[in-house]
Amino acid sequence: MNYNKKTVKDVDVKGKKVLLRCDFNVPMAKDGSGVITDDKRIRAALPTIQYLLDQGAAVIACSHMGKPVPSFDKWVKKQAEKGKDPASLTEEKWKKSLDELRMEPVAARLSELLGRKVILAGDVVGPDAQAKAAALKGGEIMLLQNTRFEKGETKNDPELAGKMAGLAGENGVYVSDAFGAVHRAHASTAGVADYLPAVSGFLIQKELDFIGGALANPKRPLVAILGGSKVSSKIGVINNLLEIADTIIIGGGMAYTFSAARGGKVGDSLLEADWKDYSLEMIQKAKDKGVKLLLPVDTVIADKFAPDAESKVVKAGEIPDSWQGLDIGPETVKLYCDAVKDAGTVIWNGPMGVFEFDKFAVGTKAVAEALSETSAITIIGGGDSAAAVQQLGYAGKMTHISTGGGASLEFMEGKELPGVACLLDQ
């Protein structure tokens, strides 16, 4: 995939209408009160929005929010699958489920942050959105309703995409800044690019520069640190990075599947028996490619999966029955920290242990600290990894922390991202 894409700086947007896809899928309070519990994603979109407004563009922003089910029958089916009593599934409840995913709270917060009015449309491509978009002037911003209120959104329906693009009119431009959604080929993330010249905003540009740069032309040696819970969720990442990296470090829950595959005893540790063969294949692939593959030499084990579990250190592959590995051990920490010292680039995806429990956050913390001390370009991808780095206080010391969980994983898997592929090449 070509990561060299045109950006907002490469097009003239003055006096034009810009359809801007953001990722405003913010977490909301569970009580349906419409309170945004973390506005990070809205704040992250501000530089691109401000730039467009300063350039004199009329900005038509849009985003999805949550997973509304835009058809009553489908909603009933889904709720019933979740075990809800069919008699309780009224049309009123369905409408309420949609109302909770309206964009009013986002518009209000965005308006506060920008210090200017944000015009909110009552629909996505309906009469209200059309009228408001038609009347929108340069330097003004409006927000469409939740794009997933339209059935065609997740199906990438060309008719819907055409209507969305139509809001920006004849000379319209499409700017994508929703990195968290670029791995999905939806009408608002990819389809619209068939109708409008499409470029990236600053958020996507940064992700392409750092992650794309590290994959396509890394400063070497490139060290990839892979952890997290399961081998099965990281097969693509391991496989792709084995093609690119000089060193691969394995930690976290998936290390136990590797250990078991090599004949080790893993007790009650996270084990995916079906993926043992795959682990052996990857060990072989590393040998064939001359990639250094590091596996834990010791591990911190616990007598239960709990923050107050009793713990001790044992050699990798020697975990007694009814104990489980929840972190890498001190020898492994040393080995891994040494391996990143002289790196040119480090890509990190997946915590080294159950960092949510203080007692088992030691390995993850040590690796984060080692990264903060190298002169390497350090790139963090994956939702939990980003959260771990943040929680442990090292966020400011990393070169780049990806804003897209699923998108950054697919990026590291080397997959084509539809929301990036559709943008104009430089």
Is 67 among the residues known to form the active site? no
Identity at 323, one-letter amino acid code = W
Chain CA centroid to CA 185, Å: 15
Minimum distance of ligand ADP from residue 269's CB (angstroms)? 6
Figure out which of the listed residues 97, 111, 130, 229 binds ligand ADP, where binding follows CB under 6 A. Answer: 229
The active-site residue out of 122, 162, 383, 414 is: 383
Side-chain-side CA neighbours of 279 within 13 Å: the count stands at 25
Nearer to ligand ADP, 39 or 356 (CB): 356
- Measured between alpha carbons, how far apart are the two ends of the chain, in Å? 13
Nearest-angstrom CA–CA distance, 408 and 349: 9
Nearer to ligand ADP, 152 or 180 (CB): 180
Is 191 among the residues known to form the active site? no
Contacted entry of Mg ion, ligand ADP, none for residue 351, CB cut-off 5 to 8 Å set by kind: ligand ADP
Cβ-based neighbour number of residue 193 at 10 Å? 21
Following CA atoms 178, 181, 187, 188 in sequence, which dihedral angle do they give, to the nearest 10 degrees? -20
3-class DSSP assignment, residue 299: strand
Q: Is 390 in the site for ligand ADP (CB under 6 A)?
A: no
Q: Is 353 in the site for ligand ADP (CB under 6 A)?
A: yes
Cβ-based neighbour number of residue 226 at 10 Å? 25
Is 236 among the residues known to form the active site? no
**What DSSP assignment string belongs to 242-273?**
HHH-SEEEE-STTHHHHHHHTT-EETTS---G
Nearer to Mg ion, 122 or 383 (CB): 383
Nearer to ligand ADP, 230 or 289 (CB): 230
Contacted entry of ligand ADP, Mg ion, none for residue 311, CB cut-off 5 to 8 Å set by kind: none
Q: Is 363 in the site for ligand ADP (CB under 6 A)?
A: no
Figure out which of the listed residues 68, 264, 317, 350 binds ligand ADP, where binding follows CB under 6 A. Answer: 350
Figure out which of the listed residues 374, 384, 388, 411 binds Mg ion, where binding follows CB under 5 A. Answer: 384
Figure out which of the listed residues 180, 264, 317, 351 binds ligand ADP, where binding follows CB under 6 A. Answer: 351
Nearest CA-CA partner of 201 in 40, 58, 52: 52
Which span sits near Mg ion by CB under 5 A: 96-104, 259-267, 325-333, 375-383? 375-383
The active-site residue out of 230, 265, 285, 289 is: 230
Nearest-angstrom CA–CA distance, 244 and 413: 11
Is 406 among the residues known to form the active site? yes
Figure out which of the listed residues 56, 122, 158, 383 binds Mg ion, where binding follows CB under 5 A. Answer: 383
Nearest CA-CA partner of 363 in 268, 264, 265, 228: 228
Number of residues in contact with Mg ion under rule CB under 5 A: 2
Give the contacts of 96 (CB within 8 A, at least 6 positions apart): 32
3-class DSSP assignment, residue 275: helix
Chain CA centroid to CA 86, Å: 35
Minimum distance of ligand ADP from residue 385's CB (angstroms)? 3
Nearer to ligand ADP, 317 or 325 (CB): 325
List interacting residues with ligand ADP (CB under 6 A): 228-229, 233, 252-253, 270, 325-326, 349-351, 353-354, 356, 382-385, 405, 409
List interacting residues with Mg ion (CB under 5 A): 383-384
